[in-house]
Chain A
Amino acid sequence: MAYPTALLDVIGLWTAWLMMMLSYSYPLWKENHGFRFAEFTFVSTMLAINLIVAISNVMRVAITPMTKGEWSYIIPIVLGFAMYTMLFSRYRWISRYPVAILVGIGFGLGMRGVLIPSVLTQVIATITPPKVGDPMSWLNFAYIAIGTICSVMYFLLTYEHKGVLRYPTRLGRWIIMIGLGAYFGNTILFRFSMLAGRAQFFLQVLKIIPL
């Protein structure tokens, strides 16, 4: 993308740069009015965009087809409006119906597809030895198999973790900690790449590197 030349685009670019620096002024310096301004502007703008997109979506998906004779769309619209009764204590009970329907549908749909990928296939993958004979694959297989069994044993809370359970549960705790550490490491990686993106944008707007 070339550096914009149209006045509005340039203003947009520099506004984004300024807002970014105001947002970063909190961790890089201290809380200040500029940071607050950027924070409030961000929240309010996002809320406004979200509202417009949501309303446009309801118009496109439900209202427009309804005006063309597909009257069944009246049901989700009424259920949607029923959610707002949550705001009035006297009629709050009405909102329980759409919530119940939502939870029911979510639970039903989730259950339909959760057993095979998240339970059955995982168990099969855990107990199936690798097809290739390289040591790394076997090490992985052993780690995953032992790790799974020991981690599950750690949550065996009806028995005290001593005697025969002492070492497997301790190993399970270590493996859970390693897993959580990896998860946290990945989280940090994500934040760093977001920051790298902003660092790149910082330089691009200043024309130090191409946009």
Chain B
Amino acid sequence: MTKQETILDKMQKIDRRILYWVLFIGLMIPFVSPLGLPVAVTPSTVDLYKELTKVKTGEVIIINLAFGVSAWSECLPATVASTKLLFKQGAKIIFLGVHYDVDLTWAKIKDQVPAFKTLTYGKNYVYLGFYTGGEATVARLATSIRTVFPTDADKKSLDEIEMMKNVNVAKDIKLVLSSDTGDWCDYYIRQWRVPYGTPVGEIGIAMLGSSYMPHYQAGILFGMTVGVRGGAELEKLIGELGEATVTMDSINISHVMAIVAIGLANLGYAATVKRGGK
């Protein structure tokens, strides 16, 4: 006689495609009809914000764009919010990036920060473009930016760019903000923070939250934002809600669905084990 399948058995056999469809559609709903769930601000984001608000007019900041197009949803909102805040403080920003698609990221940042329309290239900000070479290049940047970047991304000599005239080594830079998906913040910690004392902050994807938290708690990083949530927190702190705040509803829904799916699968598994199955 065939054993009758219970609902618990069926729960273990749900086609993964059904779950993907439910997830994909579920993620869309909050974009159409926002839920406006509250976002609590974590201390690491507050510290990042506080340090950025200490930047004085004319001080030069490096924003390292170490994320590709695929990580826009995670890193871009906090990078955009930081850029807005830094421009409000009157900072001069050097943008540089390590991904081959960094030009697209740069274009997106320019599109999302209204201040670019009023500020002057070469006076308030400069885009140096792509660089490679990992930690060795980051170390070289600390001793001579011109060796790594003889020109900016448009092949204009750095000596001809107004804001770069007296900027070439780590001591000329107020702080570094590394927005990344990998090890680049580590390189700046090891090659800028430790030897020269340059403050380093991190805008990381969620995966990096647990990796860099020890550095933040030990005071190596002055602050950090974690993923899209960190972006939403920073948007809240600067008072300009944007992409991350909208996305957070969707992320919250996805978490609820993931928890429900994990719960159902484990319930089915536990029931099977109880009945002597594997």
List A contacts of B272 (CB < 8 A). Answer: none
Closest chain B residue, CB of each to CB of A189: B206
Contact B150 A65 (CB under 8 A): yes
Distance (whole angstroms) from the CB of A34 to the closest CB of chain B: 16
Let me know if B101 is at the binding interface, CB within 8 A: yes
Contact of B150 among A61, A125, A196 (CB under 8 A): A61
A44–B70 Cα distance when bound, in Å, is: 17
Task: Tally inter-chain residue pairs, CB-CB below 8 A.
Answer: 147
Let me know if B100 is at the binding interface, CB within 8 A: yes
Interface residues of A in 154-209 (CB under 8 A from B): 179, 182-183, 186-190, 192-197, 199-200, 202-203, 208-209
Contact of A109 among B74, B135, B155, B193 (CB under 8 A): B135
List A contacts of B144 (CB < 8 A). Answer: none
Known contacts A64-B150, A109-B136; decide if A125 and B218 are in contact (CB<8 Å): yes
Contact B132 A189 (CB under 8 A): no
Let me know if B237 is at the binding interface, CB within 8 A: no
Contact A186 B207 (CB under 8 A): yes
Let me know if A106 is at the binding interface, CB within 8 A: yes
A53–B218 Cα distance when bound, in Å, is: 38
Contact of A196 among B101, B132, B254 (CB under 8 A): B254
Contact of A199 among B24, B151, B208 (CB under 8 A): B24
Closest chain A residue, CB of each to CB of B108: A1
Let me know if B28 is at the binding interface, CB within 8 A: yes
Contact B150 A106 (CB under 8 A): no
Contact A196 B20 (CB under 8 A): no
List B contacts of A199 (CB < 8 A). Answer: 24, 27-28, 31, 250
Interface residues of A in 46-66 (CB under 8 A from B): 46, 49-50, 53-54, 56-57, 60-61, 64-65
A192–B73 Cα distance when bound, in Å, is: 10
A46–B111 Cα distance when bound, in Å, is: 23
Let me know if B217 is at the binding interface, CB within 8 A: yes
List A contacts of B20 (CB < 8 A). Answer: 27-28
Contact B21 A121 (CB under 8 A): no
Contact of A113 among B136, B195, B247 (CB under 8 A): B195
Closest chain A residue, CB of each to CB of B102: A53
Contact B189 A113 (CB under 8 A): yes
Distance (whole angstroms) from the CB of A61 to the closest CB of chain B: 7
Let me know if A90 is at the binding interface, CB within 8 A: no
Closest chain B residue, CB of each to CB of A59: B155
List A contacts of B17 (CB < 8 A). Answer: 27-29
Contact A194 B74 (CB under 8 A): yes
Known contacts A53-B130, A117-B190, A179-B210; decide if A194 and B135 are in contact (CB<8 Å): no
Could you list which residues of chain A lie within 8 angstroms of chain B, going by C-beta atoms?
Answer: 1, 24, 27-29, 46, 49-50, 53-54, 56-57, 60-61, 64-65, 105-106, 109-110, 112-114, 116-117, 121-122, 124-125, 179, 182-183, 186-190, 192-197, 199-200, 202-203, 208-209
Give 22 A-B contacts (CB < 8 Å), ordered by A residue.
Answer: A1-B111, A1-B112, A28-B17, A28-B24, A49-B101, A54-B100, A60-B155, A64-B150, A110-B135, A110-B190, A112-B194, A113-B190, A117-B215, A121-B218, A186-B227, A192-B27, A193-B74, A193-B206, A195-B24, A196-B228, A196-B254, A199-B28
